[in-house]
Amino acid sequence: MDSVSLSEVTVIRETTHLGFMHSFRLRQPFCGVKISPKFYLSKVDGPKAISSSSNTKSQFVYGGGSIAATSDSGYKMNGVNLKSRTLMSSAVKERSLLDAYDDEYGGVIVDHGKLPSNPYAFASMLRASLSDWRRKGKKGVWLKLPVEQSELVPIAIKEGFEYHHAEKGYVMLTYWIPKEEPSMLPANASHQVGVGGFVLNQHKEVLVVQEKYCAPSITGLWKLPTGFINESEEIFSGAVREVKEETGVDTEFSEVIAFRHAHNVAFEKSDLFFICMLRPLSDKIIIDALEIKAAKWMPLAEFVEQPMIRGDKMFKRVIEICEARLSHRYCGLSPHRLVSTFDGKPSSLYYNVVDDDHDPSHSNCSTEFYR
């Protein structure tokens, strides 16, 4: 049997920190040195001899696959011809990297649908990918790990990834590659958004509720129906929904009267709270017994005379604004659907028009609150 010259191929075994991954690297020839083709690389034991029935081929087995030297000075891996040493090296290297695609800011987003299921393989591929991205000058890395693969989280953290945010089904991690530059990755959402519905009927009665679960300091307080805006929900539709859920009363959005901006509220986040005036379309009350203790129509004068309302300067001002709106001395903000060329998507722009001679329909300030 003929021997294969090291000038044709040298297979080098590299062991990673996990002790089981290998890679092939072609080296320059060692002149005049001959080796037998009868060997293969074992995952554990290294080179071992195998027999060959051909004088024109030499075969090297790597784990479950094989690389064969062909008579035309090329190579074949698992039946695929590799015509150059560079091609063979690239084929092995690509298998060791995570699937990812570029974002529009010079970073990469890992394809979470193609993550390896084996934690050891993930650790090796993640480290190799970081080296590859660093060599290519990439900036930020976004790594989304589904809850089904939560065992990969500590591996990523050990490699330097940081928590960005979490949802029910996943945790998002980030990595900023250029250590000499400050991270330009956007932070997690900084605000939560709430709404309160100010619903006044033709008898000048306001729709109020008592919450079933509340702080001891506000026990027994009659307050406006309030709640949080859902993801991808408009402010105006969220206000209508919250009133309906808590009281069973159907309403129509009129305008945003005012909004409050507070900080360090829940989970140290800032809070935006929009007070919305709504027109009642029904008057029958059916409470949500899970979170509401009671609901009723209360005379506005009685509502503002509650000790906690009367002693709260901010809420007192809100009531004054609502009364000014009823007498047309104040105009709130109404949503107008517009499309921006920046993203091509429709969105709501809130504004008021006191007087528009060209198109009176643009003005919401002269609209009667009652119907």
pLDDT higher than threshold 70 for residue 205: yes
**Confidence category of residue 35, pLDDT binned at 50, 70, 90:** very low
Q: With contact defined as beta carbons under 8 Å apart, do 280 and 201 qualify?
A: yes
The CA–CA distances, whole Å, from 100 to 118, 126, 133, 138 equal 18, 11, 10, 12
Report the amino acid identity of residue 196: G
Map residue 276 onto helix, strand or coil: strand
CATH superfamily of 191-322: Nucleoside Triphosphate Pyrophosphohydrolase (3.90.79.10)
Give per-residue pLDDT as tens, 276-323: 999 999 999 999 999 999 999 999 999 989 988 888 888 889 888 988
pLDDT higher than threshold 60 for residue 64: no
Domain 88-176 grouped into CATH 3.90.800.10: no
Q: With contact defined as beta carbons under 8 Å apart, do 320 and 237 qualify?
A: no
Rounded Cα gap, residues 92 and 94, in angstroms: 6
Rounded Cα gap, residues 129 and 156, in angstroms: 12
Rounded Cα gap, residues 8 and 10, in angstroms: 7
- Per-residue pLDDT averaged across 212-238, rounded? 92
Which pLDDT belongs to residue 13? Answer: 37
Q: With contact defined as beta carbons under 8 Å apart, do 367 and 353 qualify?
A: no
Lowest-confidence range among 115-124, 165-174, 197-206, 347-356? 347-356
pLDDT higher than threshold 80 for residue 61: no
The CA–CA distances, whole Å, from 291 to 209, 255, 257, 274, 294 equal 10, 26, 26, 21, 9
Beta bridge pairs of residue 171: 145, 166
Q: Which helix (DSSP H) or strand (DSSP E) does residue 235 occupy?
A: helix 235-247
Residue 187 per-residue DSSP state: P
Residue 230 per-residue DSSP state: P
Which pLDDT belongs to residue 278? Answer: 96
Report the amino acid identity of residue 300: L
Give per-residue pLDDT as tens, 331-370: 899 999 999 888 888 999 999 876 656 555 555 666 666 5
Rounded Cα gap, residues 256 and 250, in angstroms: 18
**Which residues make Cβ contacts (< 8 Å) with residue 311, sequence separation at least 6?**
none
- Per-residue pLDDT averaged across 156-177, rounded? 97
pLDDT higher than threshold 90 for residue 151: yes
In the numeric block, the tokens 């709430």 are attached to 194
Percent of the chain surpassing pLDDT 70? 70
Percent of the chain surpassing pLDDT 90? 56
Which pLDDT belongs to residue 310? Answer: 85
Report which of residues 296 and 329 the model is more confident about: 296
* Highest mean pLDDT pick, 16-20, 107-111, 215-219, 286-290: 107-111
Which pLDDT belongs to residue 129? Answer: 98
Rounded Cα gap, residues 299 and 63, in angstroms: 81
Rounded Cα gap, residues 157 and 153, in angstroms: 6
Which of 94, 111, 95 shows the shortest CA–CA distance to 149? 111
Is pTM beyond 0.85? Reply is: no
**Confidence category of residue 60, pLDDT binned at 50, 70, 90:** very low
Q: Which helix (DSSP H) or strand (DSSP E) does residue 75 occupy?
A: strand 75-77
In the numeric block, the tokens 């030499």 are attached to 58
The answer to whether domain 88-176 and domain 191-322 are alike in fold is no
Give per-residue pLDDT as tens, 70-81: 444 444 444 545
Which pLDDT belongs to residue 352? Answer: 87
CB 64: neighbour CB atoms within 10 A? 7
The helix, strand and coil proportions of the chain, stated in percent and rounded to the nearest 5, come to 25, 30, 45
Lowest-confidence range among 43-52, 88-97, 198-207, 256-265? 43-52
Which pLDDT belongs to residue 315? Answer: 85
* Residue ranges per structural domain of the chain: 88-176, 191-322
Which of 191, 197, 129 shows the shortest CA–CA distance to 160? 129
Which pLDDT belongs to residue 32? Answer: 44
Rounded Cα gap, residues 151 and 122, in angstroms: 10
Beta bridge pairs of residue 82: 75
Which pLDDT belongs to residue 217? Answer: 80
